[in-house]
Amino acid sequence: MSKTNLLSRFIMPLALLLLAFQGQAQAAEGWPREFKNADGTTTSIPAQPKRVLSTSVTVTGTLLAIDAPLAGSATGSNNDWYAQWDSVAKAKKLEKLWPAGSVDLEQAYAVAPDLIVVSTGGADSAKAQLAEFRKIAPTIVVDYGGQTWQKLAEKLGVATGHEQNAAARIAEFDQTVQQARAKISVPPGKANIISFNGAGIPNPIATARGVHSRLLASLGFTMEDPNPAWQTTIKAQNDFVWATYENLTQLTAETSFLLRAPQERVDAFLHDPMLANLPSVKSRRVYSLGINSFRVDYYSANEIVRDVVKNFAKPAENGAQ
């Protein structure tokens, strides 16, 4: 018997044994996994991903929060990251692939991902390229618009094998909220959340069931729900009623929060003649929800909580005797 045949008699069974052991180890860890997509389909993920490509800059924030192995991501339409986690992305040297709305399939191939994440909607959705992405790697579809960042983190944790990281982030944030509640005095009456844009264009108002309102409710606020008849968009919206400027005059909450509002926008709201009779304007209880508050992820949610504590701290927290 030749040396080659002799070696093959021992090496081949050993290789098969190692492959079988690896397969058993992966199965013991829960791989492969079947992921239920937001569009009703199912994606089989054969092994724990090591190179994740995010086609949605909004989803990228949650992937960063659970420390998923991101190899690259689409950016915002301005070819940049969201400010609330920009420093995290830069520290991880996360590669920018394409601006939202300008999918580059060559870049997707170049990243060599073993998992691709696509959102069902939003300006950063790349759902139109699903078929092409699935030729590159297993591709999952998530809906960030209809759920909290916590629920999204749980689902992404399952897809990436980072369930413990997701659970740790959620528990950490829950503790932050509990501590914040103990530090603040919630003013009487209801509160609302407005994306204030002025006359001539829609002024979205957060619904009580939306993620922004639920975050404030977790801090103790009672949220005003806008009239769904004010909706100016054809497609139903879970988080916002896209109301006209004139509809703002019908709001009744004693406290108003403005999305993505620098102080000058808060001042403009307070001095708008059309809004002079709003209870929140009369009581001068109008606040910015934060510059980065439009998308609620782990990072922006922490910023919102921080600002609420700053604006509604109990006297003792302000150093009062």
CATH of the domain at 99: 3.40.50.1980
Residue 19 lies in a domain: no
Same domain, 225 and 263: yes
Q: What is the CA radius of gyration of the chain?
A: 24
Residue 313 lies in a domain: yes
Report whether pLDDT(89) > 50: yes
Same domain, 159 and 188: no
Average pLDDT value for the chain: 90
- What is the token pair recorded at 293? 């508050």
- What is the token pair recorded at 220? 């103790």
pLDDT in tens, 29-40: 689 999 999 999
Last residue of a domain, one of 133, 163, 193: 163
Sheet holding 52-54, edge to edge: 96-99, 70-75, 52-54, 115-119, 139-142
pLDDT at 80: 96
Q: How far apart are CA 76 and CA 311, in angstroms?
A: 30
Q: Which domain holds residue 148?
A: 33-163
- What is the token pair recorded at 180? 């914040």
Same domain, 153 and 190: no
Q: How far apart are CA 70 and CA 91, in angstroms?
A: 12
Residue 130 lies in a domain: yes
Q: Where are the beta strands (DSSP E) in the chain?
A: 33-36, 42-45, 52-54, 70-75, 96-99, 115-119, 139-142, 190-194, 203-206, 222-223, 240-243, 255-259, 286-290
Residue 213 lies in a domain: yes
Where does the pLDDT of residue 315 fall: very low under 50, low under 70, confident under 90, or very high at 90 and above? confident
Domain count, the chain: 2
Last residue of a domain, one of 130, 163, 196: 163
Report whether pLDDT(305) > 80: yes
pLDDT in tens, 100-130: 999 999 999 999 999 999 999 888 999 999 9
Give mean pLDDT, residues 57-64: 97
Phi then psi dihedrals of residue 29, to 5 deg: -85, 0
Residue 231 lies in a domain: yes
Same domain, 98 and 223: no
pLDDT at 1: 53
